[in-house]
Amino acid sequence: MKRADVVVIGSGPGGSITAALLAEAGRQVILIEEGRPVNPELLRYSYGVGEMRELYRNGGLTPCLGATPIAYVEGRCVGGGSEINSGLYHRTPDDVLEQWRVDQGVLDVSALPDFFAQCERDIHVASHPGPQALASVKLAEGAAAIGATVTDVPLWAKFETGTDGIVRVDKQSMAKTYLPRMIQAGGEIVSGTRVKQLRRMGGKWVVRSVQDRRSLDIECDKVVVCAGAFQTPTLLLRSGVARNIGRSLQLHPMIKVFAQFDTVVNQNWREIGSHQVTNVGEGVTLGCSVGSRPYLAVGLLNYPELVNETATLAPFLGAYYACISPEGHGRVRALPGCDAPVVSYALTPRDVDRLADGLVSLCDVLFAAGATRIFPSVAGSPIITDGESIQQSAARVRAGFAELTAVHAMASCPMGERIETSAVDSFGRVHGVDNLYISDGSILCSSVGVNPQGSIMALAYRNAIQLLGESR
């Protein structure tokens, strides 16, 4: 049996930061990741079929059950979601932190700016120097034309402008930042390994795993679970830890459209623009998405007459989304004999209305930018060409025909000092269980309304420092 001081489960931002800081402090750390290391050859053809198969769980689309189903995305590779997402960076909004303090009694939120600042230095958070992806520029132009506010969201990336004028974005993912620090400090990554259960034996934890169909058990003093808002509650439920686990999942559901322009907007589809539009409705955000040809082909499946024209249309198509911070919530369940969690989500009628309104606002912005046709991800919707077809598509959304996706998941094991409603305390310690911690998006108390990875990083940094202080 292998032995460590601390086992960290999951190598996304929460797990990588935790493992790096603990290893640098002299702890013997083993980090377990279900996925494999990222193959650089896959990223050369970013957002293609090979990447979806190798770096994402279930090829990138896992169903979330509900009256309006939502397909959610999870990374499964060394570095987790940091390897596959766009790298947009937000701090947790101040009003959200205050809500957590009031509602859940979360301690020490006033110290978080220092941890945000440290993470921003470590992962090189900076604004895009431009010029940006043309599809993103179109979104910004359309928003400005109708008087909406445009934000240029910073990225965790290094930028290099070539002699051709194109800005290359080198995203500073966990595989380029915290994971090398962890290895240099003596930590160990065990990849391709699925953790099945945590067991308490003789005052120690035994992490029971499977690697290449062989059992692998690791004994340790402390366990930090950082497997994400779906897999973390599933593992804990299988391990008999159930208090307020998996009952309060939050997503940011989004509806996507593909807009056709008369001019080329999809010249460098590997780059996702960082413009977002935020004042088009309460809790609604508009943004630019992936423009690869496989992705466009999937997006046009509702219009089969156009699928064979994807190659011709691709330079003129931009992919966009309208995203909401919902009132509804979901649940994560673990079923005996089933490795995958069962995830359900209940949008409220108001959530559905806001998604429909978000679609209308997005179409208004894109037509103001010069779009000629818009193809929404709404079953049975007409191709949108004018105000009447916009309203027809919005009516289909309200009727439950929107094909929703989600890439942000959080709050399935919320933190706080009120044990009747929280799963862990303010620093990630599981209530009533010795030496068991959570440090990922599942500990957020609610939707943050923005990309949550900045929040996850700062909290993971803070929690690791607290854990080290307890261990002195």
Whether the pLDDT of residue 146 is over 70: the answer is: yes
Contact 329, 250 (CB under 8 A): yes
Q: Is the pLDDT of residue 5 over 70?
A: yes
Residue 243 is predicted with a pLDDT of 97
State pLDDT tens for residues 344-400: 999 999 999 999 999 999 999 999 999 999 999 999 999 999 999 999 999 999 999
Residue 229 pLDDT:
97
Residue 45 has pLDDT above 50, yes or no: no
**Residue 162: pLDDT over 80:** no
Question: Could you give phi then psi for residue 415, rounded to 5 degrees?
Answer: -90, 165
Mean pLDDT of 409-431: 97
Please report the pLDDT score of residue 43 as a whole number.
54
- What does residue 88 show for φ and ψ, rounded to 5 degrees? -70, 140
Share of the chain above pLDDT 90, in %: 76
Q: What is the DSSP string of 188-251?
A: EEE-SEEEEEEEEETTEEEEEEEETTEEEEEEEEEEEE-SHHHHHHHHHHHTT--TT-SSSBEE
Query: H or E segment at 130?
Result: none
Per-residue pLDDT at 144 exceeds 90: yes
pLDDT in the model for residue 268 = 64
pLDDT digits (tens, 9 = 90+) for 253-309: 999 999 999 999 987 655 678 899 998 888 899 999 888 887 888 888 889 888 788
pLDDT at 380: 94
pLDDT (tens digit, 9 = 90+) per residue, 46-79? 556 667 777 778 777 788 888 888 999 898 999 9
Helix (H, G, I), strand (E, B) or coil at 287: strand
Query: Is this prediction's pTM over 0.85?
Result: yes
Which DSSP string do the residues of 443-465 spell out, in sequence order?
Answer: G-SS--SS-THHHHHHHHHHHHH
Q: How far apart are CA 86 and CA 91, in angstroms?
A: 16
Say whether pLDDT at 180 is over 90. Answer: yes
Q: Which residues contact 393 (CB under 8 A, 6 or more apart)?
A: 359, 363, 376, 378, 381, 382, 384
| CA distance linking residue 272 with residue 276, whole number of Å | 11
- The mean per-residue pLDDT over the stretch 444-472 comes to 93
Helix 387-398 with 349-368: angle, nearest 10 deg:
160
The 10s digit of each residue's pLDDT in 72-87 is: 989 899 999 998 888 8
Instruction: Determine contact, residues 286/106, Cβ cutoff 8 Å.
Output: no
Tell me which residues are annotated as active site: 408
Classify domain 2-38+77-123+173-245+410-470 at the CATH superfamily level.
FAD/NAD(P)-binding domain (3.50.50.60)
For the chain, the average pLDDT equals 92
Identify the pLDDT of residue 48.
Answer: 60
- Which residues lie closer than 8 Å to 136 by C-beta, 6 or more apart? 272, 273, 274, 275, 288
Residue 339, SS3 per DSSP: coil
Measured in degrees and rounded to the nearest 5, phi and psi for residue 267 equal -85, -40
- Count of Cβ atoms closer than 10 Å to residue 118 Cβ: 16
Of 251, 240, 178, the C-alpha closest to 441 is: 251
